[in-house]
Structure 1
Amino acid sequence: MSEPIVVTLNGSERHLTELGQQPTIAELIASLGFRADRVALERNGEIVPRTAWPETPLATGDRIELVHFVGGGRG
């Protein structure tokens, strides 16, 4: 059995054991329960376009910064 992918997500180390051997950014976002249209993501200092998430693999050592937008405000 191989080692899990370990990334830093918003400053915290995360072991991605539940996502399999070669997880993608899209799989990470889904596992966190976020809607893709309400998330912005940076990987290793670079913005990753939403259209590239399904093909962008995560690797041990990646630094992921994720911002989740929430609607609301005064009516």
Structure 2
Amino acid sequence: MTEVAQGSGTGHELAAGNEVVSEVALIVNGERRTVRAKTIADVIGFFGLEGKPVIVEADGAILTKPQWDGAPVRDGMRIELVQFVGGG
């Protein structure tokens, strides 16, 4: 298991279609991070984890992949991202 806490977002707002997604201050894997995100799915995208096996815990609750699009993020939210990697 590997925890993931990297991202490359810059700027304060991101236009997503007709919506503007503002930056939110999160605690990701124990580190304070500023992320352009409206939902957990956006956080997954910010860290480049789309399509990868990831477990998400948000404020103590495990979220399944179908929940990510509808799970809003807010300032101060604690998120744990755990990715499984193989090796020998």
Q: Does 1:42 align with 2:49?
A: no
Cα RMSD for the two superposed structures: 2.2
Do the aligned residues in 2 keep the contact of 1:5 with 1:59 (CA within 8 Å)? yes
How big is the shift at 1:69? 1.1
Larger strand percent: 2
Do the aligned residues in 2 keep the contact of 1:29 with 1:36 (CA within 8 Å)? no
Q: Quick one: which amino acid aligns to residue 84 of structure 2?
A: F
Q: How does 1:1-75 map to 2 (within 5 A)?
A: 4-16=23-35, 18-19=36-37, 23-73=38-88
Task: Specify the alignment match of 2:6 in structure 1.
Answer: none
Larger helix percent: 1
Q: Structure 1 regions of 5+ residues with no counterpart?
A: none
* Count of residue pairs the alignment pairs up: 69
Q: Structure 2 regions of 5+ residues with no counterpart?
A: 1-11, 13-21
Question: Helix, strand or coil: the match of 1:58?
Answer: coil
TM-score normalised by L of structure 2? 0.68
| Deviant stretches of 4+, over 4 Å | none
Q: Quick one: which amino acid aligns to residue 44 of structure 2?
A: I
Give, in whole Å, the separation in 2 of the partners of 1:56 and 1:32. Answer: 17
Q: Quick one: which amino acid aligns to residue 14 of structure 1?
A: R
How big is the shift at 1:61? 1.2
